[in-house]
Amino acid sequence: MKFCQIFVLTSVCCLTIGFAAVALKPKIKSIVDEMIYGKIHLIVKSQHAKNPKLIKCIMDVLMENETANKCYAFDVMFNQDTFKSCVQPFIDGAKSQCGISRFSQQLIFSISIVFLLIFPVIIYGFIHLIFYLINLFRSDA
């Protein structure tokens, strides 16, 4: 083969590989993201094994914030200690967000229950007050 033919074949192969890499990049990224979230899920599950709702909440917050993109380095992904130290601040932040939302949900629920219990009593009192005032003015006339 002549040099020219080898050069053309090499160029065609490189272009084909380049186009394939560009076309497959989103798929490869999603596979790597799933792998990272799987590792994060194992870490979260080991820390909060008794609270599956908290685990789900933390994982949802981490996926919303795209935490996988923040720990994407090759050495971080394949060294468990480095990966855990990279991910732990994000897990703690997500845990605090889940705790705040859970507290606010419980607070709103408690306030609504109290309001639902007290509101009929207040309405009942106003109705009796109105009838008392009506009877008071009738007796004067």
Q: What angle do CA 58, 106, 45 make, to 5 degrees?
A: 20
Mean of pLDDT values over 94-104: 75
Q: Taking the domains of the chain in order of start, what are their residue ranges?
A: 36-140
| Predicted confidence (pLDDT) at residue 7 exceeds the cutoff of 60 | no
pLDDT at 31: 77
Mean of pLDDT values over 63-90: 80
pLDDT at 18: 56
Contact 97, 61 (CB under 8 A): yes
* Model confidence pLDDT, tens digit, residues 102-130: 667 777 778 888 877 888 888 888 888 88
Contact 82, 62 (CB under 8 A): no
| Predicted confidence (pLDDT) at residue 93 exceeds the cutoff of 80 | yes
Query: What dihedral angle (degrees, nearest 10) is formed by the CA atoms of 20, 24, 26, 30?
Result: -150
Higher-confidence residue of 7 and 104: namely 104
User: Any idea which residue has 């007796």 for tokens?
Assistant: 139
* Model confidence pLDDT, tens digit, residues 12-68: 555 566 555 555 566 767 777 788 888 888 899 999 888 888 889 889 888 888 887
pLDDT at 103: 64
Round to whole Å and give the CA distance between 141 and 136.
9
| CA-atom Rg of the chain in angstroms | 32
pLDDT at 129: 84
